[in-house]
Structure 1
Amino acid sequence: MAGAGGQVRLFIAEKPSMAAEIAKCLPGPASRKDGYINTGGGVITWGYGHILRQAEPDEYDPKYERWRAEDLPIIPREWKLLVADSCKKQFEIVKNLIDQATEIVHAGDPDREGQLLIDEVLDYVDNQKPVRRILLNALDEQSIKKAIVNLRDNQDFFNLKQSALARSRADWLIGMNLSRAFTLAAQRAGHRTTLPVGRVKTPTLALVVRREREIENFKPADYFTVKADFQHSDTVFTAYWKPREDQPGLDPEGRLADKAIAKALLEMLEGAAQPAAVTLCETSEKKEPQRLPPALSTLQVMAGKKFGYDPQVVLDTAQKLYERKLTTYPRSDCEFLPESQHEDAARILGNLSGLAHGELAGWSGKADSLTRSRAWNDKKITAHHAIIPTVERCNYAALSETERNIYFLIAQAYIAQFYPVHVYDQTKAELEHAGERFTANGRIIKELGWKEVYGADAEEKKEDDSTTLPAMTKGDSAEFIRASADKKSTKAPGRFTAATLLAAMKEIHKYVKNPDLKKQLKDVAGIGTEATRATIIKELIERGFLREETKKKYLKPTEPAYLLVDMLPEEITYPDFTALWEDILQQMADGSANLDTFLGQQARFAASLCYKAKGANIPLKGEHHCPRCRKGVLQLRNGKHGKFWGCSRYPSCRASYDDKNDKPDIPVRQTEGQG
Structure 2
Amino acid sequence: MRLYIAEKPSMGAEIAKCLPGPLSRRDGYITTGAGVVTWGFGHILRQAEPGEYDEKYMKWRMEDLPIIPAEWKLLIAESCRKQFGIIQQLIGQATEIVHAGDPDREGQLLIDEVLDYIKNDKPVRRILLNALDEKSIKKAIASLRDNQDFFHLKQSALARARADWLIGMNLSRAYTLAAQRAGHRTTLPVGRVKTPTLALVVRRERELADFKPVDYYVIKAEFQHDNGRFTATWKPRDEQAGLDSEGRLIDQAIAAQLLAHLDAADRQGEIAYCQTTEKKEPQRLPLSLSALQVLAGRKFNYDPQTVLDTAQKLYERKLTSYPRSDCDFLPESQHGEAAVILTNLQTGGQADLAAWSAKAQPKLKSRAWNDKKITAHHAIIPTQEKCNPAVLNETERNIYFLIAQAYIAQFYPVHIYQQTKIEVHYAAEAFAVSGRIILEAGWKEVYGVDAEEKKEEDSGALPVMRKGDAACYIGAAADKKATRPPSRFTASTLLAAMKEIHKYVKNPDLKKQLKDVSGIGTEATRATIINELIARGFLQEEKKKKYLLPQPSAYLLIDALPDEMTYPDSTARWESILHSMAGGGESLEAFIQQQTQFTVRLCQNALELRIPLQGEHPCPQCGKGVLQLRTGRNGKFWGCSGYPQCRAAYDDEDGRPKKPDHICPRCKKGELKSMNGKNGRFWGCTKFPACRATYNDKDNQPDIPENLRQVN
Q: TM-score range by the shorter chain?
A: over 0.9
Q: Could you tell me which of 268, 272, 277 is aligned with 1:275?
A: 268
Structure 2 residue 480 is matched with structure 1 residue 470:
no
Distance in 1 (CA, whole Å) between partners of 2:153 and 2:224 is 63
What is the deviation of 1:563? 0.2
- Aligned residue among 114, 118, 141 for 1:125: 118
What does residue 11 of structure 1 align with? Answer: 4
* Counterparts of 1:537 and 1:570, CA distance in 2: 20
Q: Is 1:499–2:492 an aligned residue pair?
A: yes
Residue 174 of structure 1 is matched in structure 2 by: 167
- Of 303, 308, 313, the residue aligned with 1:310 is 303
Deviations along 1:514-562, whole A, 9 cap, x unmatched? 1111001111100000000000000000000000114110001000000
Contact 1:627 1:671 in 2 (8 A): no
Matches within 5 A, 1:32-43: 32-43=25-36
Say which of 236, 246, 251 aligns to 1:243: 236
Corresponding residue number in structure 2 for 1:5: none
Aligned to 1:661: 654
Contact 1:9/1:102 (8 A) holds in 2 = yes
Distance 1:30 1:313 in 2: 34
| CA–CA distance in structure 2, aligned partners of residues 514 and 427 of structure 1 | 37
1:482 aligns to 2:460 (yes or no): no
The corresponding residue for 1:233 is: 226
Deviation at 1:669, TM superposition (A): 2.9
Of residues 405, 409, 418, the one that matches 1:412 is 405
Aligned to 1:381: 374
Distance 1:499 1:616 in 2: 34
1:276–1:432 Cα contact (<8 Å) kept? yes
- Tell me the distance in 2 between the aligned counterparts of 1:105 and 1:248: 71
Say which of 639, 643, 661 aligns to 1:646.
639
Fraction of identical pairs, as percent = 72
Amino acid in the other structure paired with 1:205: L
Question: Equivalent of 2:67, from 74, 79, 82?
Answer: 74
Residue 448 (structure 2) pairs with residue 458 (structure 1)? no
The total of aligned residue pairs comes to 668
- SS of 2:653's partner is coil
Please say if 1:586 is aligned against 2:579: yes
Which residue matches 1:196? Answer: 189
Amino acid at match of 1:331: R
Output the CA distance in 2 between the equivalents of 1:489 and 1:247. 20
Correspondence for 1:398? 391
The aligned amino acid for 1:507 is: E
Q: What residue number does 1:440 align with? A: 433
- Residue among 123, 126, 129 paired with 1:136: 129
Structure-2 residue corresponding to 1:209:
202
For 1:374 and 1:516, the matched residues in 2 are separated by 30
Q: Cα distance, 1:671 vs. partner?
A: 9.9
Structure 2 residue 327 is matched with structure 1 residue 334: yes
- Name the residue aligned to 1:222: 215
CA deviation profile, 1:52-105 (whole Å, cap 9, x unmatched): 000000111110001000100000010000000000000000001011100000
Give structure 2 stretches of 5+ with no counterpart: 670-710
After the TM superposition, which residues 290-309 of structure 1 pair with which residues of structure 2 at under 5 Å, given as runs?
Answer: 290-309=283-302
Which residue does 1:620 correspond to in 2?
613
In 1, Cα distance between equivalents of 2:39 and 2:333: 29
Contact 2:8/2:41 (<8 A) preserved: yes
Larger radius of gyration: 2
Query: Is the contact between residue 68 and residue 166 of structure 2 (CA under 8 Å) also seen in structure 1?
Result: yes
Q: Which residue of 2 aligns with 1:4?
A: none
Is 2:553 aligned against 1:560? Answer: yes
- Equivalents in 2 of 1:630, 1:587: separation in Å? 48
Q: Report the 3-state secondary structure (helix = DSSP H, G, I; strand = E; otherwise coil) of the residue aligned with 1:466.
A: coil
Instruction: Give the whole-Å Cα distance in 2 for the aligned partners of 1:505 and 1:373.
Output: 28
What is the distance in 2 between the residues matched to 1:568 and 1:282?
53
Pairing partner for 2:248 from 249, 252, 255: 255
Matched residue SS, 1:145? helix
Counterpart code for 1:232: H
2:361 and 2:577 mapped to 1: Cα distance?
42
Does residue 1:26 correspond to 2:10, yes or no? no
Query: Secondary structure at 1:669's aligned position in 2?
Result: coil
Quote the RMSD (CA, aligned, Å). Answer: 0.9
1:322·1:329 contact (CA, 8 Å) conserved in 2? yes
Paired position in structure 1 for 2:673: none
Amino acid at match of 1:517: L
In structure 1, what is the Cα distance between the partners aligned to 2:660 and 2:267? 89
Separation of aligned partners in 2, 1:642 and 1:668: 21
- Quote the Cα distance in structure 2 between the aligned partners of 1:34 and 1:358: 45
Residue-by-residue CA offset, 1:308-364 (whole Å, 9 max, x unaligned): 000000000000000000000000000000001111101100010012211111111
Q: Does 1:156 align with 2:149?
A: yes
* Alpha-carbon distance in structure 2 between the residues aligned to 1:665 and 1:279: 84
Distance in 2 between residues matched to 1:436 and 1:41, nearest whole Å: 80
| Contact 2:361-2:412 at 8 Å conserved across structures | yes
Structure 2 residue corresponding to 1:325, chosen from 318, 327, 349: 318
Contact 1:634/1:648 (<8 A) preserved: yes
Q: CA deviation at 1:234?
A: 3.8
Write the distance in 1 (CA, Å) between the matches of 2:664 and 2:301. 57
3-state SS, counterpart of residue 31 of structure 2:
strand
SS in 2 for 1:659: strand
Equivalence for 2:281: 288
Q: What is aligned with 2:674?
A: none
- What is the CA distance between 1:274 and its match in structure 2? 4.5
In structure 1, which of residues 248, 261, 264 is the aligned counterpart of residue 257 of structure 2?
264
1:615 and 1:570 map into 2 onto residues whose CA distance is 16
Tell me the CA shift for residue 158 of structure 1: 0.2
Partner SS for 1:417: helix
Residue-by-residue CA offset, 1:382-427 (whole Å, 9 max, x unaligned): 0010000000000111101100010010011011111111100000
Alpha-carbon contact 1:312-1:535 (below 8 Å) kept: yes
CA distance in structure 1 between the partners assigned to 2:439 and 2:652 by the alignment = 85
Aligned-partner residue type, residue 15 of structure 1: K
> Under a length normalisation based on structure 1, what TM-score does the superposition of the two structures give?
0.98
Q: 1:88 aligns with which of 81, 90, 94?
A: 81
CA distance in 2 between counterparts of 1:397 and 1:451 reads: 28
Q: Is the 8 A contact 1:237 1:468 kept in 2?
A: no
Q: What is the rounded CA distance, in whole Å, between the counterparts of 1:403 and 1:270 in structure 2?
A: 60
Q: Give yes or no for contact 2:227–2:464 (8 Å, CA) kept in 1.
A: no
Q: Once the two structures are superposed, what CA deviation does each residue of 1:480-514 show, in whole Å capped at 9, x if it has no partner?
A: 11111100000110000000000000000110011
8 Å Cα contact 2:505-2:511 kept in structure 1: yes
1:277-312 deviation digits (Å, cap 9, x = unpaired): 111111100001110000000000000000000000
CA–CA distance in structure 2, aligned partners of residues 325 and 345 of structure 1: 16
Residues of 1 paired with 2:334 and 2:447: CA distance? 23
The answer to whether structure 1 residue 53 and structure 2 residue 80 are counterparts is: no
Partner amino acid, structure 2, of 1:40: G
Q: Which is further off, 548-557 or 594-603?
A: 548-557
- SS class of match (1:530): coil
Q: Cα distance, 1:670 vs. partner?
A: 3.0
Mapped partners of 1:435, 1:617: distance in 2: 59
**Map of 2:697 onto structure 1:** none
Aligned-partner residue type, residue 305 of structure 2: Q
